[in-house]
């Protein structure tokens, strides 16, 4: 291994989009802090969070932008799509209207990001099974038709939250490996960080990165 | 100090107080690492009384010209935690790698070898020496470190106490040095949570072979126990006494003895060589049971000669360091000075070896290891007793008396050598000096008194010695081999627990990093204005409060596809700035409506540098006014516009319905008033009337009133100018501008444009104004206006551009002046 074990090699930019109240901020919070916020105020602006994750033995820093979902901010939040490597598109499984709006969110994403941007559909609040308003099958079909990755998740219980963020990163990383994603393009949403020549070795260099990885 | 840098020295000195003295500088330093490399860097040693620190600057130019060219990037106190060393850079003979360590953080600089670098290095050494003799005080450095100051949170502070101060920008830039070192430090602290001790059996052996050929099996020495050890450290002295070995430090014996060792190890286990090192005749081999091999890391060796001239290799020490699982081990094999009376020389050799062994890895020195095993022919003798006395005591087995006379025991007790090392009780006979191939002590003429020259000592926690013995069966040398068996506690990482702790720490670091993001709150995210009226500004203040840990640089930024960060009816002051943690900043939002907008809406994006964006919604309703209504519409209004019903208003604005007046009623009221009362007033248009009086006239016009027109003639004259400046279309409509200006030097073409191109109402207004101006000129004796002044005043207004004043002025004047005459 060339660099120190804790240097990250890439920065990926993510955006989280979707109707207001679907749980975007809660998903971000769950991912960065492992906590659920029961009464989270509406996001009036764009929140920012980071976390370093491990994909295929590579440290990757995620820079996540959580956008305001209220309709009146729609025009402004469009400024933030640019240069996103990953887009998490969220709806609330207990509110059909949030699902119905997906096509409009999707067309914004397609128009404002580049073709290699990985779009991940999240059906949030899957802990509220009794209030379900959108079936898994239906959403999964929508995802398939549009070539999106898809899970149902819960920012409350944490179910599938980690997976959604990590799977997105894995997909982006694969695109880099396959050369589908041009790192030099300013809008790729990925920055390369050359690691420092490692001089001081801490114990466990060998073990730290042994997480099994399919790619 | 090199004179070439005298000027630079002065510039850098300017950054410091007069008590802080720049001792030495080094220009053109490059830094290895991710973020830094492209800038010019400068190092400086700065002294404050007896304390010093190394400052790292980035400079805008290779050689700074002014103190503003310099930014302090990092400050490293030169105190007991400060270490530095230099390494050659492979393939770059003119440069060297200058490594500075402060606790767990290290910086690597590439500098050119030359007088500048040696001067600089010697200044650092001097600073460090100066420090060692005095008290440490780091407080003077605090002011250079915004990072340090901004940390209100004491938890963070204690974590950062252990690292040098690195500029906060860098910390914010997710500086990996910081993050890495913090993580390593934390991991070290948490080690007990993810490690457990496991006992390893270590076999340590030493034998002075007296230059004899390796001709016998070493099994009686190396595998005399029932169970195989996990690790062997086997040291020899005098494996080759030839001149060639001494001069060229090269000998075939090295491989031969290694083979003997490999052949002699315990048959119940498999071993492989971890490292072998040799200095002339002093050789050390470390072997490990193959099943443990994968847990060995960071192997390094070094040798130090203390023989002839204090540095030749006939005497000295060799050392091997490694990490087994999570414990660092160091093995030292030394052959110290000979001769009974030379015990002080031996003490000195020991000290030299300690001081000079340098593994160039962290940790670098012998003493920094968790466990140290020191073996060798230490050459300490028995004094104060004759050979025959020694022999007699031995026969009577009075070991205590003999050991009291042992120089090593004596010197160790006095603290002169191997101070904090332990040695097991010696129960075996002296290992020196025997007749070759016998167990008989020296029978030669010299009849040297027997001595325990060959010893094994240890230092560190969790080491239990099981055996300490000599091996009489090996008779080829005048020394007997010695061995020791240790059960040593090695800290073994529990992978599952380690991963958990590591994950947790990473999470914590992420959290920390998120906490380091700038955070502010804004007291209102929705700013509503009351009914906004033409040219009657209103403001609202919002408060930006820094609730984060770091200074927040804020700025209102443009949205996608917009020209400016806010609409033209809004002004934000200040639109950018910095708020320190715990502090607040007032930002004023001011609306001034100068158009016919009825709905005022904007979303402001308040951006924090390196952090989130917040939206602020600004809204209000605009009130209509005759000033912003088109003249064609006004000519259709049967009454003041505020008295119109919604339906009437819509019709008028759509230019439906009959034209009732040839010029707008409002314009006529203003001009007529000036005809009556203003023609003879000096400097009629020069008034600077108050907001209030303008508002009165505006409302009088828009609402209508039975009262006379309020305000002075000057105010009314100014209002006329305002009226003409804001009408929805200028008197000469936008689309005719270019034609009009092109025609401006020709009276006839001007006239044609006016007569043929202008819409009726506009032509009426134009001519009406011109008539009024001619009337004014007739009174120029009283009012002081000449044609040129009036032409330039009105030309600008009648021919106003959508973006004001972007066309040449002179031609407008021409146009108007032609018309006036
Ligand atoms: N039961 C349940 N409630 C959730 C879940 N995720 C979010 N919520 C709740 O849903 C509400 C809205 O969540 P937010 O995260 O603020 O929604 P948002 O998408 O960020 O909304 P905007 O910021 O307005 O765009 C909050 O009251 C949350 O407590 C979930 O997985 N399960
Ligand atoms: Mg939100």
Is residue B98 a contact partner of residue B108, using CB atoms and an 8 Å limit?
A: yes
The verdict on a CB contact (< 8 Å) between A45 and B615 is: yes
Nearest CA to ligand 1 atom 15: A23
A41 touches chain B (CB under 8 A): no
Going by pLDDT thresholds of 50, 70 and 90, the confidence category of residue B801 is low
Residue of A15, A23, A66 to test ligand 1 pocket, by largest number of atoms within 8 Å of CB? A23
Which residues numbered 132-191 in B keep a CB inside 8 Å of some CB on A? 174, 176-177, 179-180, 183-184, 187
Burial class (CB in 10 A: 0-12, 13-18, 19+), B417: buried
The verdict on a CB contact (< 8 Å) between A196 and B176 is: yes
Set out the domains of chain B in order of their start, with CATH numbers: 3-168 (2.30.29.110), 197-493 (3.60.10.10), 520-621 (2.60.40.10), 627-820 (1.10.555.10)
Dist. CA A11–CA A15, nearest whole Å: 13
The verdict on a CB contact (< 8 Å) between B612 and A46 is: yes
Distances (CA, A) of B386 to B447, B448, B608: 10, 9, 86
pLDDT tens readout for residues B584-640? 999 999 999 999 999 999 999 999 988 899 999 999 999 999 999 999 999 999 999
Q: Locate B390 and state its tokens.
A: 């020694």
A24 lines ligand 1 (CB under 6 A): yes
Average pLDDT rounded to a whole number, residues B795-799: 83
Question: What are φ and ψ of residue B53, in 5° steps?
Answer: -150, 155
The verdict on a CB contact (< 8 Å) between A44 and B615 is: yes
In the CATH scheme, what is the code of domain A10-191?
Answer: 3.40.50.300
Q: Give the pLDDT confidence score for residue B331 in this predicted structure.
A: 98
Nearest CA to ligand 1 atom 13: A23
The verdict on a CB contact (< 8 Å) between A200 and B106 is: yes
B298 touches chain A (CB under 8 A): yes
pLDDT greater at residue B511 or residue A77: A77
Q: Give the pLDDT confidence score for residue A129 in this predicted structure.
A: 95
Q: Give the pLDDT confidence score for residue B582 in this predicted structure.
A: 87
Q: Locate B473 and state its tokens.
A: 């069966």
- Closest to B699 in 3D by CA, of B649, B640, B772, B648: B640
- Closest to B274 in 3D by CA, of B260, B262, B256, B257: B262
Residue for token pair 């630079």: B8
Say how far residue B304 (Cα) sits from the centre of its chain: 38
Q: Give the pLDDT confidence score for residue A204 in this predicted structure.
A: 30
Report the separation in Å between the CA atom of B2 and the middle of ligand 1, taken as the mean of its atom positions.
Answer: 66
Examine the pLDDT at A91 and tell me if it is beyond 90: yes
- Closest to B407 in 3D by CA, of B338, B458, B470, B466: B338
Examine the pLDDT at B382 and tell me if it is beyond 80: yes
Examine the pLDDT at B93 and tell me if it is beyond 70: yes
Average pLDDT rounded to a whole number, residues A139-156: 96
Dist. CA B801–CA B806, nearest whole Å: 7
Which residues numbered 769-808 in B keep a CB inside 8 Å of some CB on A? none
Examine the pLDDT at A104 and tell me if it is beyond 90: yes
Query: Which ligand 1 atom is the nearest neighbour of the CA of A153?
Result: 31
Mean pLDDT is lowest, of B166-170, B285-289, B420-424, B520-524, for B166-170
The mean of the pLDDT values for chain B is 85
Is residue B453 a contact partner of residue B381, using CB atoms and an 8 Å limit?
A: yes
Residue for token pair 């099981």: B466
Say how far residue B665 (Cα) sits from the centre of its chain: 69
Q: Give the pLDDT confidence score for residue B168 in this predicted structure.
A: 37
A43 lines ligand 1 (CB under 6 A): yes
Local structure of residue B493 (DSSP, 8 states)? E
Q: Give the pLDDT confidence score for residue B690 in this predicted structure.
A: 85
Dist. CA B551–CA A8, nearest whole Å: 25
Tell which phi-psi region holds residue A189, choosing left (phi > 0), alpha (psi between -120 and 50) or beta: left
A208 touches chain B (CB under 8 A): yes
Q: Locate B349 and state its tokens.
A: 């050799």
Residue for token pair 């090699």: A9
Going by pLDDT thresholds of 50, 70 and 90, the confidence category of residue B702 is very high
Report the separation in Å between the CA atom of A106 and the middle of ligand 1, taken as the mean of its atom positions.
Answer: 20
Average pLDDT rounded to a whole number, residues B523-550: 92
Local structure of residue B368 (DSSP, 8 states)? G
Q: Give the pLDDT confidence score for residue A186 in this predicted structure.
A: 55
pLDDT tens readout for residues B659-675? 999 999 999 999 999 99
pLDDT > 70 fraction of chain B, expressed in percent and rounded: 89
Average pLDDT rounded to a whole number, residues A81-96: 94
Q: Spell out which residues of chain A touch residue B502, defining contact as CB-CB under 8 Å.
A: 204, 208
Going by pLDDT thresholds of 50, 70 and 90, the confidence category of residue A214 is very low
Q: Give the count of alpha carbons within 13 A of B268, CB side only.
A: 9
Residue of A72, A111, A202 to mutate, interface with B, max B Cβ within 10 Å:
A202
Q: Give the pLDDT confidence score for residue B295 in this predicted structure.
A: 94
Q: Which residues contact B508 (CB under 8 A, 6 or more apart)?
A: B186
Report the separation in Å between the CA atom of A69 and the middle of ligand 1, taken as the mean of its atom positions.
Answer: 11
Average pLDDT rounded to a whole number, residues B472-489: 96
How many CB pairs below 8 A link A and B?
A: 101
Nearest CA to CA, how far is A113 from chain B (Å)? 14
Going by pLDDT thresholds of 50, 70 and 90, the confidence category of residue B142 is low
A22 lines ligand 1 (CB under 6 A): yes
Local structure of residue B780 (DSSP, 8 states)? H
pLDDT tens readout for residues A173-195? 998 888 777 666 656 666 665 33
Q: Give the pLDDT confidence score for residue B177 in this predicted structure.
A: 41
User: Beta strands of B570-677 (E only): which ranges?
Assistant: 570-573, 576-579, 584-591, 599-608, 613-621
Among candidates B108, B493, B612 on the partner chain, residue whose Cβ is nearest the Cβ of A204: B493
pLDDT greater at residue A39 or residue B131: A39
- Three-class SS state of A107: helix
The verdict on a CB contact (< 8 Å) between A201 and B34 is: no
Is residue B277 a contact partner of residue B301, using CB atoms and an 8 Å limit?
A: yes
Q: Spell out which residues of chain A touch residue B510, defining contact as CB-CB under 8 Å.
A: 32, 50-52
Nearest CA to ligand 1 atom 7: A23
Mean pLDDT comparison of B417-431, B768-782, B797-811, highest-scoring range: B417-431
Average pLDDT rounded to a whole number, residues A138-152: 96
pLDDT > 90 fraction of chain B, expressed in percent and rounded: 51
> For A179-214, where are the alpha helices, taking DSSP H only?
205-208
Dist. CA B631–CA B67, nearest whole Å: 61
The ligand with the least distance to the CA atom of A21 is 1
Report the separation in Å between the CA atom of A88 and the middle of ligand 1, taken as the mean of its atom positions.
Answer: 15
A174 touches chain B (CB under 8 A): no
Is residue B264 a contact partner of residue B213, using CB atoms and an 8 Å limit?
A: no
Going by pLDDT thresholds of 50, 70 and 90, the confidence category of residue B506 is confident
Among candidates B34, B180, B514 on the partner chain, residue whose Cβ is nearest the Cβ of A49: B514
Going by pLDDT thresholds of 50, 70 and 90, the confidence category of residue B123 is confident
Query: Which ligand 1 atom is the nearest neighbour of the CA of A68?
Result: 25
Examine the pLDDT at B151 and tell me if it is beyond 70: no
Residue for token pair 């509110």: A95
Dist. CA A202–CA A129, nearest whole Å: 47
Going by pLDDT thresholds of 50, 70 and 90, the confidence category of residue B172 is very low
- Closest to A32 in 3D by CA, of B498, B508, B548, B519: B508
The verdict on a CB contact (< 8 Å) between A8 and B613 is: no
Q: Give the pLDDT confidence score for residue A135 in this predicted structure.
A: 96
Going by pLDDT thresholds of 50, 70 and 90, the confidence category of residue B104 is low
Q: CA-nearest residue of chain B to A211? A: B499
- Three-class SS state of B263: helix
Q: Give the pLDDT confidence score for residue B437 in this predicted structure.
A: 94
Sheet holding B538-546, edge to edge: B520-522, B538-546, B584-591, B570-573
The mean of the pLDDT values for chain A is 83
- Closest to B110 in 3D by CA, of B128, B91, B134: B91
Local structure of residue A73 (DSSP, 8 states)? G
Dist. CA B206–CA B235, nearest whole Å: 5
pLDDT greater at residue B7 or residue B224: B224
Q: Spell out which residues of chain A touch residue B173, defining contact as CB-CB under 8 Å.
A: none
Report the separation in Å between the CA atom of A34 and the middle of ligand 2, taken as the mean of its atom positions.
Answer: 16
Is residue B225 a contact partner of residue B467, using CB atoms and an 8 Å limit?
A: yes
User: Beta strands of B518-673 (E only): which ranges?
Assistant: 520-522, 526-528, 538-546, 552-557, 570-573, 576-579, 584-591, 599-608, 613-621
Q: Give the pLDDT confidence score for residue B522 in this predicted structure.
A: 94
Query: Which ligand 1 atom is the nearest neighbour of the CA of A128?
Result: 1
The ligand with the least distance to the CA atom of A91 is 1
Q: Locate B445 and state its tokens.
A: 């003429």
Q: Locate B373 and state its tokens.
A: 């095993």
pLDDT tens readout for residues B644-660? 999 999 999 999 989 99
Is residue A36 a contact partner of residue A26, using CB atoms and an 8 Å limit?
A: yes
Question: What are φ and ψ of residue B117, in 5° steps?
Answer: -70, -35
Mean pLDDT is lowest, of A51-60, A79-88, B251-260, B667-676, for A51-60
Question: What are φ and ψ of residue B83, in 5° steps?
Answer: -135, 145
A69 lines ligand 1 (CB under 6 A): yes
Examine the pLDDT at A172 and tell me if it is beyond 70: yes
Q: Give the count of alpha carbons within 13 A of B152, CB side only.
A: 11
Examine the pLDDT at B149 and tell me if it is beyond 90: no
pTM: 0.59
Examine the pLDDT at B424 and tell me if it is beyond 80: yes
pLDDT tens readout for residues B175-186? 334 566 667 777
- Three-class SS state of B716: helix
A67 lines ligand 1 (CB under 6 A): no
Which residues numbered 55-74 in A keep a CB inside 8 Å of some CB on B? 61, 68, 72-73
Among candidates A61, A80, A200 on the partner chain, residue whose Cβ is nearest the Cβ of B174: A61
The verdict on a CB contact (< 8 Å) between A46 and B603 is: no
User: What's the 3-state SS for B504-518?
Assistant: HHHHHHHHHHHHCCC
Q: Spell out which residues of chain A touch residue B297, defining contact as CB-CB under 8 Å.
A: 201, 203, 205-206
Q: Are strands B195-208 and B231-237 parallel, antiparallel or unpaired?
A: parallel
Examine the pLDDT at B311 and tell me if it is beyond 80: no
- Closest to B1 in 3D by CA, of B112, B113, B120: B120
The total of other beta-carbon atoms located within 10 Å of residue B302's CB is 22
In chain A, where are the structural domains located? 10-191
B506 touches chain A (CB under 8 A): yes
């Amino acid at each position: 291994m060339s660099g120190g074990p804790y240097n990250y090699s890439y920065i990926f930019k993510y955006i989280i989009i979707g109707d207001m109240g679907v749980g975007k901020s809660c998903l971000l919070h769950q991912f960065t802090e492992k906590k659920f916020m029961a009464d989270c105020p509406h996001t009036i602006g764009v929140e920012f969070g980071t976390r370093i994750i491990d994909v295929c033995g590579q440290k990757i820093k995620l820079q996540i932008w959580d956008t305001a979902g209220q309709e009146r901010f729609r025009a402004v939040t469009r400024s933030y799509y640019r240069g996103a490597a990953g887009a998490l598109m969220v709806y609330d499984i207990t509110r059909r209207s949030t699902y119905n709006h997906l096509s409009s969110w999707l067309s914004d994403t397609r128009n404002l990001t580049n073709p290699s941007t990985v779009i991940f559909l999240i059906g949030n609040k899957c802990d509220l099974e009794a209030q379900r308003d959108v079936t898994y099958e239906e959403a999964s079909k929508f995802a398939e038709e549009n070539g999106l990755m898809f899970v149902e998740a819960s920012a409350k219980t944490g179910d599938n939250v980690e997976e959604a963020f990590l799977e997105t990163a894995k997909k982006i990383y694969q695109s880099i490996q396959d050369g589908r994603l041009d790192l030099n393009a300013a809008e790729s949403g990925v920055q390369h960080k050359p690691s420092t020549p490692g001089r001081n070795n801490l114990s466990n260099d060998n073990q730290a990165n042994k997480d099994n990885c399919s790619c | 100090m090199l004179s070439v840098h005298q000027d630079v020295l002065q510039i850098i000195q300017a950054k410091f107080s007069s008590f802080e003295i720049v001792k030495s500088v080094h220009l053109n330093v490059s830094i290895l690492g991710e973020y830094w490399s492209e800038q010019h860097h400068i190092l400086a040693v700065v002294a404050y009384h007896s304390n010093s620190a190394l400052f790292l600057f980035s400079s805008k130019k290779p050689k700074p010209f002014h103190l503003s060219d310099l930014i302090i990037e990092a400050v490293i106190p030169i105190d007991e935690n400060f270490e530095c060393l230099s390494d050659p850079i492979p393939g770059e003979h003119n440069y060297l790698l200058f490594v500075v360590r402060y606790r767990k953080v290290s910086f690597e600089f590439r500098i050119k070898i030359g007088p500048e670098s040696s001067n600089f290095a010697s200044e650092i050494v001097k600073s460090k020496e100066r420090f060692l003799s005095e008290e440490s005080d780091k407080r003077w450095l605090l002011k250079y470190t915004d990072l340090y100051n901004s940390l209100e949170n004491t938890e963070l502070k204690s974590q950062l106490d252990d690292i040098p101060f690195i500029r906060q920008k860098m910390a914010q830039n997710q500086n990996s040095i910081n993050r890495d070192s913090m993580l390593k430090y934390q991991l070290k602290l948490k080690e007990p949570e993810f490690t457990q001790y496991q006992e390893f059996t270590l076999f340590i052996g030493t034998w002075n072979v007296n230059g004899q050929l390796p001709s016998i099996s070493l099994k009686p020495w190396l595998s005399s126990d029932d169970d195989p050890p996990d690790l062997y450290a086997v040291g020899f002295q005098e494996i080759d006494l030839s001149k060639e070995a001494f001069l060229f430090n090269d000998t075939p014996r090295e491989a031969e003895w290694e083979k003997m060792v490999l052949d002699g190890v315990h048959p119940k286990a498999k071993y492989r060589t971890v490292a072998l090192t040799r200095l002339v005749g002093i050789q050390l081999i470390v072997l490990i049971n193959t099943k443990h091999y994968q847990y060995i890391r960071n192997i390094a060796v070094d040798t130090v000669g203390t023989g002839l001239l204090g540095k030749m290799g006939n005497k000295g020490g060799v050392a091997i360091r490694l990490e087994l699982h999570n414990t660092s081990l160091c093995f030292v094999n030394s052959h110290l000075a000979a001769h009974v009376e030379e015990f002080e020389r031996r003490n000195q050799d020991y000290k030299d070896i300690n001081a000079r062994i340098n593994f160039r890895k962290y940790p670098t020195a012998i003493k920094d290891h968790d466990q140290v095993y020191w073996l060798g022919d230490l050459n300490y003798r028995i004094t104060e007793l004759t050979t025959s006395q020694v022999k007699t005591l031995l026969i009577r087995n009075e070991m205590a008396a003999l050991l009291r006379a042992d120089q090593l025991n004596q010197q160790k007790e006095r603290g002169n050598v191997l101070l904090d090392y332990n040695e097991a009780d010696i129960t075996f006979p002296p290992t020196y000096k025997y007749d070759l191939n016998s167990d008989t002590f020296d029978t030669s003429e010299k009849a040297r008194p027997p001595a325990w020259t060959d010893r094994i000592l240890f230092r560190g926690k969790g080491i239990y010695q099981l055996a300490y013995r000599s091996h009489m069966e090996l008779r080829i040398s005048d020394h007997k081999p010695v061995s020791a068996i240790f059960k040593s506690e090695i800290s073994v990482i529990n992978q599952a627990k380690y991963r958990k702790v590591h994950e947790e720490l990473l999470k914590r670091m992420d959290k920390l990093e998120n906490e380091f993001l700038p955070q502010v709150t804004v007291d209102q995210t929705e700013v509503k204005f009351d009914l906004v009226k033409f040219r009657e500004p209103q403001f609202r203040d919002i408060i930006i409060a820094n609730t984060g840990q770091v200074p927040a640089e804020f700025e209102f930024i443009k949205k996608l596809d917009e020209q400016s960060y806010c609409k033209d009816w809004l002004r934000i002051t200040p639109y950018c700035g910095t708020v320190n943690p715990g502090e607040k900043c007032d930002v004023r939002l001011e609306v001034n409506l100068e158009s016919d907008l009825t709905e005022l809406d904007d979303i402001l994006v308040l951006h924090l540098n390196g952090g989130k964006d917040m939206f602020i919604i600004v809204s209000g309703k605009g009130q209509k006014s005759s000033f912003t209504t088109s003249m064609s519409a006004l000519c259709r209004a049967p009454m003041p516009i505020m008295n119109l019903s919604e339906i009437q208003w819509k019709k008028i604005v759509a230019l439906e319905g009959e034209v009732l007046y040839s010029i707008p009623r409002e314009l006529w009221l203003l001009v007529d008033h000036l005809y009556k009362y203003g023609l003879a007033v000096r400097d009629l248009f020069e008034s600077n009337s108050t907001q209030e009086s303008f508002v009165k006239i505006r409302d009088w016009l828009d609402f209508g009133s039975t009262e006379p027109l309020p305000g002075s003639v000057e105010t009314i004259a100014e209002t006329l100018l305002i009226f003409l400046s804001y009408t929805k279309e200028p008197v000469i409509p936008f689309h005719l501008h270019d034609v009009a200006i092109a025609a401006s030097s020709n009276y006839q073409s001007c006239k044609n444009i006016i007569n043929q191109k202008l819409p009726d109402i506009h032509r009426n207004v134009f001519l009406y104004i011109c008539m009024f101006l001619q009337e004014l000129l007739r009174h120029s004796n009283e009012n002081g206006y000449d044609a040129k002044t009036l032409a330039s005043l009105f030309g600008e207004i009648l021919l106003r551009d959508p973006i004001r004043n972007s066309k040449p002025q002179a031609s407008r004047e021409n146009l108007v002046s032609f018309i006036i005459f």
